[in-house]
Amino acid sequence: MWRRVASLSSSISSSFLAQTASRLNTWESLTTGIAQQAKGVIAPKEKTPFITFVLGGPGSGKGTQCIKIVETFGFAHLSAGDLLRREIASKSADGAMILNTIKEGKIVPSQVTVKLIQKEMELSDNHKFLIDGFPRTEENRVSFEQIIGVEPNVVLFFDCPEEEMVKRVLNRNEGRVDDNLETIKKRLTVFQALSLPVINYYSEKGKLYTIKAIGTEDEIFEQVRPIFAAFETVG
- Binding-site residues for CMP sit at 140
Among 45, 128, 141, 187, contact with ligand LLZGTKA7 (rule: CB under 6 A): 187
Q: Interaction with Mg ion in 23-82: which residues (CB under 5 A)? A: 63
Say which DSSP state 127 is in: S
> Reduced to 3 states, what is the DSSP secondary structure of residue 210?
strand
Q: Give me the DSSP letters along 4-30.
A: -B----TTS-HHHHHHHHHH-TTHHHH
Smallest gap from residue 184 Cβ to ligand LLZGTKA7 (A): 9
Residue 79 near residue 133, CB atoms below 8 Å: yes
Q: Interaction with Mg ion in 150-169: which residues (CB under 5 A)? A: none
Among 49, 57, 105, 152, contact with ligand LLZGTKA7 (rule: CB under 6 A): 105
Treating both helix axes as pointing N-terminal to C-terminal, what angle do 138-148 and 196-204 enclose, rounded to 10 degrees? 60
The reply on whether position 81 binds ligand ATP by CB under 6 A is yes
The reply on whether position 156 binds ligand LLZGTKA7 by CB under 6 A is no
Smallest gap from residue 192 Cβ to ligand LLZGTKA7 (A): 13
Among 37, 113, 143, 195, contact with ligand LLZGTKA7 (rule: CB under 6 A): 113
Give all strands of the β-sheet with 208-212 in edge-to-edge order: 76-79, 128-132, 50-56, 154-159, 208-212
**What CA–CA distance (Å, rounded) separates 1 from 126?**
8
The reply on whether position 172 binds ligand ATP by CB under 6 A is yes
What burial class does residue 21 get, using C-beta atoms within 10 Å of its C-beta: 0-12 exposed, 13-18 middle, 19+ buried?
A: middle
* Residue ranges that bind ligand LLZGTKA7, judged by CB under 6 A: 58, 80-81, 84, 101-102, 105-108, 113, 133-134, 136, 140, 178, 187
* Residue ranges that bind Mg ion, judged by CB under 5 A: 63
